[in-house]
Chains A and B, each alone.
Chain A
Amino acid sequence: MIENFLKILVCDDSMLIRKKLKEVLKSCGCNNILEAANGQEAIDIYKESKPDLVFMDIIMPLKNGIEAVYEIIEFDKDAKVVMASSAGTKEHVKQAIKAGAFEFVQKPWEKEQINKIILNIK
């Protein structure tokens, strides 16, 4: 099972969302999960651990998700980032894609959506 080997970074300032997303990822067979609570933490962890996939919120303190995606893509042009936000406005989706995210998930997400993304990564 390849998902067992996927290293996934979950970045959201909400500990509840991180907890819920981790539960969903574990139920999809992904157990190697890293956590960040803001954009800057995500960049630091990405550079250190180079995860296979990143779930990134947008509205966060210190550094927002869009800025973080720019820096992650600058460091690794092949980085796979999924934006996951409740604020899926046209402008945010446009900015996320421009920054280099390959997918936008509107919160609240469903388990099936996350599962589909994991399957596509494999």
Chain B
Amino acid sequence: MFSQYFGQYLLTEKYLTDEQLKIALEYQQSVRLKLGVLAINAGYMNSQQANQVHQMQSKVDKRFGELAVEAGYIKEEQIEELLSSQKFGHLLLAQALIDKNYMSLEKFEQAIYEYKKKYNISEGQFELLQSDDVDEIINVYVNLEDEKYEIEVKQYISLFMRNLIRFIDPEIYTKKITKFEEFKTKCVVSQKIKNSINFMTYINAEQDVFLKIASRYAEEELAIVDEMAKDSVGEFLNLNNGLYLVGMSNKGVELDMEPQSVCFEKKIGSAYVLPIELPFGKMELIISTI
């Protein structure tokens, strides 16, 4: 995930062309190893345990390592060891760029330096970013300085990204969040979270992307944006929001929510719009704090 952000930076700063980045990211993806595979390879877990943890992951908002430790399948220090070998996805990206002569070592060094400076990233933060820590990624890239509910909105976005990774596609990244006074939607599902904090939440996308999200969540190929497709995306939003409520409840904040609804081609008043790039297109997560 972090390498996507770093890759976008290289693109924006004209270190690379679109095509070069695409090839390098594909290469990086092909060599990156998942934690479950690393754990089996190291003999710390068997495949049945890894599959059980993957199943648990679809139910609770926890990382693979956390769940595996809780289930007693693996020790904390073994996870640490595996994580350190999983890190540095962006280095695989860099390796691909250098191997393919898209970039020199010096250029890479300069890019990393400029990148940390631009986003004011400390060494500690850089460590977290490299291990694809979603909370830290959202913290660094999503700027909500003047928002009263900055912490709650960021927590919401982080959870949403984790659920997108889990249920829809692991290769996603956010673009710049923008506050719109009016935003015209295409295919949209919405749901209100209410009580002491009030959010309107929306998933918006063009029809083809909406259909793909619906198909991925329903685990079946849906051909048209019909009631089932709308229901599927709505249920994904409902699941995410339900898990947000559970997380807040565990922190002592009891929230509630209303049933989700579908409304296409609608104008939304003052709201944050977060574009999210998926391998098959772009969607927007829209949040309006009321």
Contact = CB atoms under 8 A, between A and B. Distances in A.
B37 interface: no
B242 A13 contact: no
Interface of A: 13-17, 59-61, 85-91, 106-110
Nearest to B167: A108
A20 to B, nearest CB: 9
Interface in B238-280: 238-239, 241-243, 245-246, 248-250, 254-259
A13 B259 contact: yes
Main DSSP-derived SS at the A contact region: loop
23 contacts: A13-B259, A14-B235, A14-B238, A16-B231, A16-B232, A59-B238, A59-B242, A59-B259, A85-B242, A86-B238, A87-B242, A87-B245, A87-B256, A89-B246, A89-B249, A90-B250, A91-B254, A91-B256, A106-B59, A107-B239, A107-B242, A110-B55, A110-B59
Contacts of A16: 217-218, 228, 231-232, 235
Instruction: Select the residue from A61, A85, A86 with max chain B CB neighbours within 10 A.
Output: A86
Given A106-B246, A108-B239, A59 B258 contact: yes
A13 B44 CA distance: 43
Interface in B97-136: none
B41 interface: no
B238 A15 contact: no
A85 B257 CA distance: 12
Contact of A15 (B60, B231, B242, B259): B231
B59 A88 contact: no
A87 B258 contact: no
Contact of B246 (A14, A17, A60, A87): A87
Contact of A89 (B58, B255, B259): B255
B227 interface: yes
A121 B78 CA distance: 41
